Each structure stands twice: as C-alpha cells, then as structure tokens.
Amino acid sequence: MKHLLDIADLSVEDIDELMRTAEDIISRPAAYMHVCAGKKLATLFFEPSTRTRLSFESAMYELGGNVLSMADAGSSSAAKGESVADTARTVGC
C-alpha cells in the first residue's frame, strides 16, 4: 500500500498486520530506525489536533523519515477545492 487516505480502505487482515508490526516496532525499535529513510510523510489536518500531529511526526522521525506538515488546512489549497490526492502527488509522497 502506497497511500492510506481512509481507514475504511483497510481490511480486518490489514489492521491485524498493522498491529503485529506496531508490536514488533515497540519491542525492537533499533530494527526500524532507518525503515523510512528517504521517505516523506505529508500531513494536512482540517481540525486542530496538536497531539495527533506531533505523534505522527515523532513516529516518522523515529523511523528515519521526513515530515511535511500543514497545521492549518485553511491556508492550503484544500480551501479552494484541491484534493488530498492532488497534494500528495505534488509533494511526491
């Protein structure tokens, strides 16, 4: 899976696999320190969500990746109708 835009796109099996992977990351963090090296996570929150945004950013940094973050969707092109998919393609995520 390259992009996850909606939790409803995941099957029960997908969620189970995500949970197993999360448990492995927790138990063996050193094995995952560079798994996201060279990758970007773009976040765009439409509601204020400081803890969630920082949690996502922290996790990506711990996995060796980079984060592009827009804290205020109102100042983005989403305000004039650009889709999240268009934004993801633009930033190369």
Q: Is the pLDDT of residue 83 over 70?
A: yes
Beta bridge partners of 41: 67
Q: What was the pLDDT predicted at 74?
A: 63
- Give the residue numbers spanning the domain of 64: 32-93
Identity at 84, one-letter amino acid code: V
Q: Does 23 map to a domain?
A: no
Q: Does 80 map to a domain?
A: yes
Q: Does 10 map to a domain?
A: no
Q: What is the CATH number of the domain that holds 47?
A: 3.40.50.1370
Give residue-wise pLDDT tens across range 13-43: 999 999 999 999 999 999 999 999 999 988 8
Total structural domains within the chain: 1
Mean pLDDT across the stretch 54-80?
82
- Between 87 and 15, the more confident residue is 15
Cα distances (angstroms) measured from residue 27 to each of 22, 24, 90:
9, 5, 35
Q: Does 74 map to a domain?
A: yes
Beta bridge partners of 70: 44
- What is the average pLDDT value for the chain, to the nearest integer? 84
